[in-house]
Amino acid sequence: MPRRYQPWIAPLVSFAILLSITGSAVSLPRSSEIDQVQIYPVPLRGVEPPSKDATAEALELRADALRAEKFYLDSLDYYRAALAKRPNAAPLYNKIGIVELLMQRWPDAKKSFERAIRADHEYSDAYNNLGVIFYIGKKYGKAIDRYNKAIRYKADTASYYSNLGAALFSKKDFEKSVAAYARALELDPDVFERTSRAGVSAQMSSPEDRAHYDYVLAKLYAKMGSADRSLEYLRRAMEEGYKSIDSVYKDAEFVGVRKDPRFTALMAARPMAITD
């Protein structure tokens, strides 16, 4: 029999817990019960508990699937059951931390990532994920330290540099931030598109910071020769009210984009700034 119902999910992009809307069935009253209406809840999906006979690998795979389906509590049980069969496994601690992060259990997630690091002192993903926890808490210096450690052990992962760039940007260390973002784009030109769909979005303290961030990305994409994305981020910067937008006519990175008719049309239209 199912042992747990999970009437909520928490997607990573917004880190907001959404309550599911549970439907209900209403029984038709008999003539003798004309004033009585009974409401029956619609059963939600449950998950069987982990099998004692399953291997650690099978339990981990099942947990991965449950996590993908946003059955987070059940996925935790399966990861922990796998951990019982494979004690001190850094990847399992890391995955447990990810689920706890998805559920906004920040202190628990922090402990799990730290356990992963104790189990494997060179586990780059755990350093990166611990950096995310510090970033969410606006402890940017600690986040930068963990991102740099992740890069030290695995220097070819675009998301580490993207995260590092976000933390540096939040500290207003714009020169180093741009360098980190540029390296992220070298490794993966789609890194920012992926992050916007499935990652922790950059924390901006003001519309001016968001506008500056968008302009920086527009400049980086222009330098790479990606006019489409450059123009998209230019549009966003203008909508955020970027005050130095006319720098686009002077910055060398935009020399190619300025020849694009869409650039001329965008600058002529001057999208109205959108305020919060």
pLDDT in tens, the chain (276 residues): 444 434 333 333 333 322 222 333 333 344 444 455 656 555 445 689 999 999 999 999 999 999 999 999 999 999 999 999 999 999 999 999 999 999 999 999 999 999 999 999 999 999 999 999 999 999 999 999 999 999 999 999 999 999 999 999 999 898 899 999 999 999 998 888 765 444 455 565 577 888 888 999 999 999 989 999 999 999 999 998 899 999 999 999 999 999 999 999 999 988 766 554
Crossing angle of helices 158-170 and 191-198, in 10° steps, is: 70
pLDDT at 209: 83
Q: What is the DSSP letter of 54?
A: S
Identify each DSSP E strand in 77-192 by its residue range.
none
pLDDT at 38: 58
pLDDT at 37: 62
Give the Cα separation of 242 and 239 in Å (integer).
8
Exposed / middle / buried, residue 138 (Cβ in 10 Å: 0-12, 13-18, 19+): exposed
Write down the residue that tokens 């991102």 correspond to: 147
Choose among 192, 197, 244: nearest CA to 220. Answer: 192
Q: Which domains does the chain have, with CATH numbers?
A: 1-17+48-121 (1.25.40.10)
pLDDT at 270: 81
* Residues whose CB is less than 8 angstroms from the CB of residue 254 and which lie 6 or more positions away in sequence, other chains included: 218, 219, 222, 230, 248, 263
pLDDT at 249: 94
pLDDT at 28: 39
pLDDT at 25: 38
